């Protein structure tokens, strides 16, 4: 399958990656208006975080959540490669280089060698059929069945 121009994924049912049923049942989803992929966009008001704010193991996995970052920020965000003190790489999405700098100031054990994104999707666009909502019980079953195909 070609890469979806709206949500940047080749696999329209790959997400949610972890505990998919629980995520689909309980969390607000970004429902891609182009390919139908559901991306968790649930906002945790206590920690003021969404799924895309967390570090990812690879740039490819981060790219699965990039659309929710772009949509939330209303601009093209970037995936940046970070290194821990032990040299372990992780990938994190930031709105811009300034928010990366603020993060690095607060997390002194992390470094970013190239202060440019390894991936970004420009320009930012909106799509007419995007929906932000929780799925109905029937939609969850339908989506889960499609994941197995
Ligand atoms: Zn979720
Ligand atoms: Zn899509």
Domain residue spans in the chain?
Answer: 20-148
Phi, psi of 132 (to 5 degrees): -120, 105
Q: Residue 144: is its pLDDT beyond 70?
A: yes
Ligand nearest to the CA of 44: 1
Helices (H), 8-149: 20-26, 59-73, 97-106, 137-148
102: left (phi over 0), alpha (psi -120 to 50) or beta: alpha
Dihedral angle sign, alpha carbons of residues 30, 96, 85, 49: negative
Ion ligand 1: protein residues whose beta carbon lies under 5 Å: 23, 27, 40, 42
Question: Does residue 53 sit in helix, strand or coil?
Answer: helix
**Euclidean distance between CA atoms 97 and 117, whole angstroms:** 8
Res. 2 pLDDT band, cuts 50 70 90: confident
Q: Which two tokens stand for residue 41?
A: 């966009």
Ligand nearest to the CA of 54: 1
CA of 20 to the centre of ligand 1 (A): 8
Q: Residue 38: is its pLDDT beyond 80?
A: yes
What pLDDT shows up at residue 13?
97
Question: Does residue 118 sit in helix, strand or coil?
Answer: coil
- Give me the residue label for tokens 């121009």: 5
Q: Which two tokens stand for residue 76?
A: 């093209």
Contact 76, 123 (CB under 8 A): yes
Q: What are 44-96's pLDDT values in tens digits?
A: 999 999 999 999 999 999 999 999 999 999 999 999 999 999 999 999 999 99
Q: What are 91-142's pLDDT values in tens digits?
A: 999 999 999 999 999 999 999 998 999 999 999 999 999 999 999 999 999 9
CA of 113 to the centre of ligand 1 (A): 31
CA of 36 to the centre of ligand 2 (A): 6
CA of 33 to the centre of ligand 2 (A): 7
CA of 1 to the centre of ligand 1 (A): 25
Ligand nearest to the CA of 63: 2
Question: Does residue 92 sit in helix, strand or coil?
Answer: strand
Contact 43, 50 (CB under 8 A): yes
Ligand nearest to the CA of 16: 1
CA of 7 to the centre of ligand 2 (A): 4
What pLDDT shows up at residue 1?
67
Q: Residue 149: is its pLDDT beyond 90?
A: no
CA distances (Å), 87 to each of 105, 109, 110, 117, in order?
Answer: 18, 10, 9, 18
């Amino acid at each position: 399958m070609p890469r979806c121009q709206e949500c940047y994924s080749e696999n329209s049912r790959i997400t949610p990656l972890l505990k998919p049923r629980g995520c689909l049942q309980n969390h607000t989803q970004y429902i891609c208006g182009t390919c139908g992929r559901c991306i968790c966009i649930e906002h945790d008001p206590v920690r003021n975080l969404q799924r895309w704010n967390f570090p990812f193991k690879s740039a490819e996995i981060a790219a699965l959540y990039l659309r929710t970052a772009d949509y939330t920020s209303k601009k093209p965000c970037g995936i940046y490669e970070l290194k821990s003190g032990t040299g372990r790489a992780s990938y994190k999405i930031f709105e811009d280089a300034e928010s990366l700098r603020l993060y690095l100031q607060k997390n002194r054990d992390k470094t970013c060698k190239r202060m440019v994104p390894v991936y970004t999707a420009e320009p930012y666009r909106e799509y007419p059929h995007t929906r932000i909502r929780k799925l109905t019980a029937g939609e969850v079953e339908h989506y889960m069945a499609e994941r197995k195909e």
